Amino acid sequence: MIITRKAISRRTVLRGLGTTLALPLLDSMAPALTAAGKTAAGTTHRLGIVYVPNGIVMEQWTPATEGAGFELTPTLKPLERFRERMTVVTGLSNRGPDFAHETGSTSFLTGVSPKRTQGADLQASVSMDQQVAKALGQHTQLASLELALESGDEVGTCGAGYTCAYTNTISWRSATTPLPMEINPRAVFERLLGDVRSTDPAARLARIEQDRSLLDAVTDKIARLRRDLGARDRNKLGEYLDAVRDIERRIQMAEAQVDQPLPEMAPPVGIPATFDEHAKLMFDLQVLAYQADLTRVITFMVSREFSSRTYPEIGVPEAHHPTSHHRNDPEKIAKLARVNAYHTTLLAYYLDRLQATSDGEGSLLDQMTLLYGCGLSDGQRHSSDNLPVLVVGGAGGRLGGGRHLRYPGTTPMSNLHLTLMDSVGVPVDNFGNSTGPLDAALSL
């Protein structure tokens, strides 16, 4: 590794035994300013997807008015500080032959309904995130990351003659290849830092007992790098390394729980004991991956369709999926709305972290395109009409915000896919069941 004060390669990594540490974007990595005063660092395209299941209480999601003057609804209220960075999009649909959880999750990013089957012969289409990953993945260590908070091992028939396997993921590499979603923070952390040591439980416990960090393998190289950086870059590097250490510490705390008595239905080894900590840890791993430019495409399922997760921490001890079939019971509707608002609270945590992380001349949030939503609107009826959708982020100056855009109810969700793919520099003429990109209202 050769480092000078003039410039450092964006692809510089620090290698040690079992560790490959990529670096965040530093000022000394940027090429000379162009005549327009911009750097290549300001053109990095990134795409994030955050998916929530089982429908939304649309009356508490949908703003009453359109345009820039809309009022935030109870479910969107946790996102108030990001109002000018987000666009609420309503009226989009993924209509298919059936209204089911399996079709909702599969069509969310593919724009097509899956093949009805109860066997292993799954079929859908390439998902939007994976089409983007084919283009942007040429520039990064990982083409994409697929993450979740619930295991994707459901089998059997869930409903309407569809296998439950369709609910395990929203990412499809090809029409017949669904991608698994990783739920274990340690597995994600070691994938990002390139750890090649054994990851079986005994080896992990040995590392915990030694209380050693993966960063220990590159301590000397970090020290040499610091000496060749200016003050601003030293601060950036320090913040990045602090984030890495904090994530590793939280993972180690979760793994250390194996020595403690576990309650019934405890999470797997290495998974934090609370849903809140698990979610925030996985969000922080995503920020780390973007910050070090290890990948530019991340798809994240907060929960899977048919999820029966309970949320006693917010006063909802009942299972999520049965609660979504509320049969117009006001008490169940109120509890479902509470879950919906809790999910947007977690999204606000993620957006805070993206906004606080510098990237080029702005923040990660300034540079990326983030899609948040659900493949069903009304969980009671399994409806995929008028889907709940948010678009957040600046896409490097290509996306606006602070608006509620309403489209006719027959507008395919894939029309939004076309628009968002263009915003991250991967324009295509057709996708899924699209009829054309959305109008320019999403742009600045």
Question: What pLDDT, in 10s, does the model give residues 331-360?
Answer: 999 999 999 999 999 999 999 999 999 988
Q: Which region among 124-138, 192-206, 421-435 has the lowest average model confidence (pLDDT)?
A: 192-206
Mean pLDDT of 46-53: 97
Query: pLDDT band at residue 208, thresholds of 50, 70 and 90?
Result: low
Checking if the pLDDT of 230 tops 60, the result is yes
Note the pLDDT of residue 160.
76
d(CA 399, CA 370): 10
Residue 398 neighbours by CB under 8 Å, 6+ apart: 423, 443, 444
Checking if the pLDDT of 31 tops 60, the result is no
Note the pLDDT of residue 266.
53
Please state which CATH number belongs to domain 45-183+277-283+296-442.
3.40.720
d(CA 184, CA 271): 6
Quote the longest CA-to-CA distance of the chain. Answer: 66
| Axis-axis angle for helices 128-136, 413-423 (nearest 10) | 10
Instruction: With H, G, I as helix, E, B as strand and everything else as coil, classify residue 86.
Output: strand
Indicate whether this model's pTM tops 0.85: yes
- 103 to 12, 112, 305, 306, 373: CA distances (angstroms): 43, 8, 10, 12, 15
169 or 41: which carries more pLDDT confidence? 169
Strand order across the 403-412 sheet = 145-148, 297-301, 46-51, 368-373, 389-392, 86-93, 403-412
Checking if the pLDDT of 389 tops 90, the result is yes
C-beta of residue 326 within 8 angstroms of C-beta of residue 332: yes
Mean pLDDT of 234-241: 90
Mean pLDDT of 306-335: 94
Mean pLDDT, the chain, integer: 86
Note the pLDDT of residue 254.
84
Query: pLDDT band at residue 381, thresholds of 50, 70 and 90?
Result: confident
In the block, which residue shows the tokens 């180690």?
Answer: 252
Checking if the pLDDT of 245 tops 80, the result is yes
Query: pLDDT band at residue 34, thresholds of 50, 70 and 90?
Result: very low
Determine whether 9 is exposed, middle or buried from the number of CB atoms within 10 Å of its CB (0-12, 13-18, 19+): exposed
In the block, which residue shows the tokens 């990002």?
Answer: 192
Boundaries of every domain in the chain? 1-43+186-270, 45-183+277-283+296-442
Amino acid at the residue 362: G
Note the pLDDT of residue 36.
35
Helices (H), 257-358: 275-291, 320-324, 330-356
d(CA 78, CA 390): 13
